[in-house]
Amino acid sequence: MTETPTVIPQAQSGKKPLSQTQRATRMLREMIITNKLLPGSSHLETELAEMLGMSRTPVREAAIVLEGQGLVEVKPRRGVRILPLSPADMEEIYSILTELESLAAHDVAKNGADEEDLARLRALIQEMETALADDDRHRWAEADERFHHKLVSLAGNRRLQTIVATYSDQVHRARLLTLHMRPTPHRSNEDHRALVEAIAAGDAERARNIHREHRIRAKTMMIKLIASHGLRAV
Amino acid sequence: MTETPTVIPQAQSGKKPLSQTQRATRMLREMIITNKLLPGSSHLETELAEMLGMSRTPVREAAIVLEGQGLVEVKPRRGVRILPLSPADMEEIYSILTELESLAAHDVAKNGADEEDLARLRALIQEMETALADDDRHRWAEADERFHHKLVSLAGNRRLQTIVATYSDQVHRARLLTLHMRPTPHRSNEDHRALVEAIAAGDAERARNIHREHRIRAKTMMIKLIASHGLRAV
DNA sequence: CTAATGTTTATTGTATACATAAATTTATAC
DNA sequence: GTATAAATTTATGTATACAATAAACATTAG
């Protein structure tokens, strides 16, 4: 894979100067998932190149990468189009995420997690709870994302991680949008606690089922919210 | 000028002259999954370009696409490397395929398949059986692939189909390799029949479980075969 | 006014040029 | 003979040039 989506931290001490293609890929992905480039809009290669201060070549290569990750579509003479997500698309993606994250939960429980990892997961749940207490949904969402990411990474299946990251990126916009429309996610935190217990107990099937139900609930809510607000795409 | 074919499901019908990049992508992928380009080997962009009779640019773009599909790795000054699969890689991929194909089986059973689709699946099983009777494993494998492909396509989740296709490509080499080492796949056909029955009965959970077990068996056998032949990568 | 045709423009696909940095080789010192 | 440094080669990353062609526009016919 060219790049693992949503792996922002690279700035530390690994001082390899990024290539222009890498920079273009990151910047464009960031602008897409944070809605700086609006879904449905099209952008000529030249425009993007100028905007990013580089030539067309790296922009073109970045577009190919992002197309492979389902974020854009490169249309022959129409430029690069930011793909909108319909409720049907969301349904597709959430089904896949549900299944793969549940597999991750299963595998983590089966292979066993050490105390450090369990502590990390519990700390993230705690973080979500205090964020909720402070009515800070943004912080809650961030901790939630990190929880799911950590869970998947513990499964130790790199490809699984890549797929989940890719599709999580795709629904990131929708999550941002519904964050303030949804009811307070208390139930979500209960699910998380139950999941960590199942993992700690090494009960793989229970972990899988808890997480699957958790994900299905999230999906149902998301679709309903989008539909109830009359959004045809995001 | 009456019809502009936007999405052509298969080959010839729309004879849009492929771009060089598309040609490069197809040719390289084909050469990789059929072992014309050996796993672990590296190839400079210039070599590949000359080999395919085009300039470096489209080769480069194809390499980016194939890298996104996990078939190659582009190493800074080492050229394009055909990625070998270790048993651990295979384990990763089969886990993902197991889960996603099982989801497909579940969804197809849940949404219901019409008689035509069921007939098609049954015809493919029949094809596998006659191929086995003729001791023609190649034909069996082809029908098997088409059966799995058909199953997944019936689920109607385009992204699911894409992921399964991508990872199926990755293990294609290994399947070719073990095709003649494995015992006659009678059990496999029984599984297929049971699956189609569960789908016809609309029993989603049963369909899911049957297919999951089927896939797990396939995975175990594959890993054992590879290991028993002392192969560290394919 | 509408449809058909010709003309212009704009954008892409691909080739190519070139500076840069990695890899490799050669030279030099110890 | 080994280790270090300098020189050379090489492949890449990126910019740029340019022909091909789809889209947009203007023109003409009906």
The beta-carbon neighbor of A64 closest among B64, B93, B96 is: B64
* Whether the predicted pLDDT of A2 surpasses 70: no
Residue A3 lies in a domain: no
Which residues on adjacent β-strands are paired with residue A31? none
Judge if A78 and A91 occupy the same domain: no
Note whether A103 contacts B: Cβ–Cβ < 8 A: yes
CA B129 to CA B93: how far, in whole Å?
27
| Beta pairing class for B72-75 and A42-43 | unpaired
* A93 and B CB contact within 8 Å: yes
pLDDT digits (tens, 9 = 90+) for A109-132: 999 899 999 999 999 999 999 999
Q: How far is B132 from chain A (nearest CA, A)?
A: 34
- The half-sphere exposure of A75 on its side-chain side, counting CA atoms within 13 A, is 15
Give how far A170 is from chain B: nearest CA, Å: 12
Q: Which nucleotide lies at the shortest CA–C1' distance from A17?
A: C21
Asked if A1 lies within 8 A of B67 by C-beta distance, the reply is yes
Confidence of residue B10 (pLDDT cuts 50, 70, 90): very low
Band (pLDDT 50/70/90 cuts) for residue A230 is: confident
- d(CA A124, CA A147) in angstroms, rounded, equals 6
Q: Is the CB of A56 under 7 A from strand D?
A: yes
Average of pLDDT values for B98-109? Answer: 98
pLDDT digit string (tens) for A166-179?
A: 999 999 999 998 99
Question: Do B121 and B140 sit in the same domain of this protein?
Answer: yes
CA A42 – C1' C16 distance (Å)?
29
- How far is A24 from A162, CA to CA, in rounded Å? 20
Average pLDDT over residues B74-98: 95
| Contact list, B103 vs chain A (CB under 8 Å) | 95-96, 99
Contact A71, A170 (CB under 8 A): yes
CA distances from A49 to A17, A54, A58 (A): 19, 5, 8
Distance from C-alpha of A191 to C-alpha of B90, rounded to nearest angstrom: 32
Where does a domain end: B57, B82, B107? B82
- Same domain for B100 and B42: no
pLDDT of residue A6 exceeding 50: no
Give SS3 for A112.
coil
How many residues are listed for chain B in this entry? 234
Q: Is the pLDDT of residue B12 over 90?
A: no
Where b means 16+ CB within 10 Å and e means fewer, A14-32 reads eeeeeebbbbbbbbbbebb
Q: Which nucleotide is nearest to B63 (CA to C1')?
A: D12
Give Rg (Cα) of chain A: 19
- Between CA A77 and C1' D27 the distance (Å) reads 25
Q: Do A160 and B92 touch (CB under 8 A)?
A: yes
Does A69 contact chain B (CB < 8 Å)? yes
Judged by CB atoms closer than 8 Å, whether chains meet at A163 and B103 is answered as no
pLDDT > 90: what percent of chain B?
82
Are residues B92 and B124 located together in one domain of the fold?
yes
Dump pLDDT digits (tens) for B167-207. Answer: 999 999 999 999 989 888 889 999 999 999 999 999 999 99
In a domain, B2, yes or no: no
In chain B, residues with a C-beta closer than 8 Å to the C-beta of A60 are: 61
Residue B165 within any structural domain of the chain = yes
* Residues of the domain holding A50: 20-82
- Which CATH number fits the domain that encloses residue B75? 1.10.10.10
How long is the CA A55 to C1' C22 vector, in angstroms? 23
SS3 B75: strand
- Do residues B106 and A99 lie in contact, with contact meaning Cβ atoms separated by under 8 Å? no
Number of structural domains chain A divides into: 2
Nearest-by-Cβ selection for A68 from B68, B74, B159: B68
For residue A215, the distance in angstroms to the closest alpha carbon of chain B comes to 14
Rounded Cα distance between B75 and A2, Å, is 10
Q: Three-state SS for A70?
A: coil
Determine whether the interchain pair B159/A103 forms a contact, defined as Cβ–Cβ distance below 8 Å: no
Asked whether residue B211 is domain-assigned, the answer is yes
CB < 8 Å to B102, chain A: 99
Contact present, A179 and A137 (Cβ < 8 Å) = yes
- Crossing angle of helices A137-154 and A87-111, in 10° steps, is 50
Asked if strand D comes closer than 7 Å to A19 Cβ, the answer is yes
Query: Which of B82, B100, B127 marks a domain boundary?
Result: B82
Task: Give residue-wise pLDDT tens across range A73-94.
Answer: 999 889 999 999 999 999 999 9
Same domain (yes/no): B209, B122? yes
Q: Given an 8 Å threshold on Cβ–Cβ distance, is A96 in contact with B100?
A: yes
pLDDT for the residue A14? 52
Average pLDDT, chain A: 91
Asked if residue A58 keeps its beta carbon closer than 7 A to nucleic acid strand D, the reply is yes
When scoring B6, B96, B97 by the number of chain A Cβ atoms within 10 A, the one with the most, hence best to mutate, is B96
Evaluate whether B71 touches B32 at the Cβ level (below 8 Å): yes
CA–CA gap between residue B75 and residue B45 (Å, rounded): 11
Strand pairing report for A79-82 and B72-75? unpaired
The answer to whether residue A1 is domain-embedded is no
- Note whether A60 and A50 are within 8 A (CB): no
The CATH number covering residue A111 comes to 1.20.120.530
Residues of A in contact with B96 (CB under 8 A): 100, 103, 157, 159-160, 163
How much helix, strand and coil, in percent to the nearest 5, is found in chain A? 70, 5, 30
- pLDDT at position A165 over 50: yes
| Residue B93 contacts A, CB cutoff 8 Å | yes
pLDDT at A183 over 90: no
Identity of the residue in B60, B67, B99 whose CB atom sits nearest the CB atom of A103:
B99
Residues A105 and A212 in one domain: yes
Q: Which two tokens stand for residue B13?
A: 């019908």
pLDDT at B122: 97
In whole angstroms, D18 C1' to B19 CA is: 17
Of B221, B222, B219, B194, residue with least CA distance to B208: B194
Q: What is the CA radius of gyration of chain B?
A: 19
CB within 8 Å: A2 and B68? yes
A94 and A41, same structural domain? no
- Asked if residue A91 and residue A69 are part of one domain, the reply reads no
Q: In this structure, what DSSP letter does residue B7 have?
A: -
Say how far apart CA B149 and CA B227 lie, in whole Å. 27
State whether B142 and B221 are in the same domain.
yes
Last residue of a domain, which of A40, A56, A82? A82
For residue B233, is it within any domain?
no
Nearest CA in chain A to B103: A99
What ranges in A9-114 are assigned the alpha helix state H?
20-33, 45-52, 56-68, 87-111
Nucleotides of D under 7 A from a protein CB: 10-17, 22-23
Per-residue pLDDT reduced to its tens digit, A36-77: 999 999 999 999 999 999 999 999 999 999 999 999 999 988
3-class SS of residue B81: strand
Comparing A1-15, A121-135, B8-22, B95-109, the range with the smallest average pLDDT is A1-15
Residue B1 lies in a domain: no
In terms of Cα–Cα distance, which of B101, B185, B213, B188 is closest to B151? B101
Task: Name the 3-class secondary structure at B6.
Answer: coil
The model's pLDDT over B42-67, given as tens digits with 9 standing for 90+, comes to: 999 999 999 999 999 999 999 999 99
| B124 domain residue, yes or no | yes
Burial A137-170 (b: 16+ CB within 10 A, else e): beebbebbebbbbbbbbbbebebbbbbbbbbbbb
Task: Return the structure tokens found at B88.
Answer: 């651990």
**Strand intervals (E) in chain A:** 42-43, 72-75, 79-82
Tens digits of residue pLDDT in B30-47 = 999 999 999 999 999 999
| pLDDT at residue A15, rounded to an integer | 62
Is the C-beta atom of B184 closer than 7 angstroms to strand D? no
Residues B70, B92 share a domain? no
Average pLDDT, chain B: 91
Distance in angstroms (rounded) separating the CA atoms of residues B102 and B212? 5
**Same structural domain, A100 and A65:** no
Distance, in Å, from the CA atom of B5 to the CA atom of A234, rounded to the nearest integer, reads 27
Together in a domain, A69 and A94: no
